[in-house]
Amino acid sequence: MRPFEYLAKVRIGQAKIMLAQEKYTVNEIAQIVGYNDCSYFCSVFKKHEGISPAEFRALNCPDSK
């Protein structure tokens, strides 16, 4: 695994934890984990997880609907 791939994996892992907590918006989470562009964060997240951050939150946080 290349360093860039590892970094993305770690960032997405942290984002998943934060998405499940519902404390921050998707845009805030993108900034916190190191992505300046929310759209890019969403595309990287979807590439790794197969669903968007909003879909992940909806599946993991029933109260977020």
In the prediction, which pLDDT does 50 show? 96
pTM of the model: 0.87
Residue type, 56: F
In the prediction, which pLDDT does 1 show? 86
Close Cβ partners of 54 (under 8 Å, ≥ 6 residues apart) = 26
DSSP string, 43-57: HHHHHHHSS-HHHHH
In the prediction, which pLDDT does 22 show? 84
φ/ψ of residue 4, rounded to 5: -65, -40
**Block residue for tokens 């960032």:** 11
Task: Work out the mean pLDDT of the chain and round it to a whole number.
Answer: 92
**Residues above pLDDT 90, as percent of the chain:** 83
Q: Report pLDDT digits (tens) over 10-37.
A: 999 999 999 998 889 999 999 999 999 9
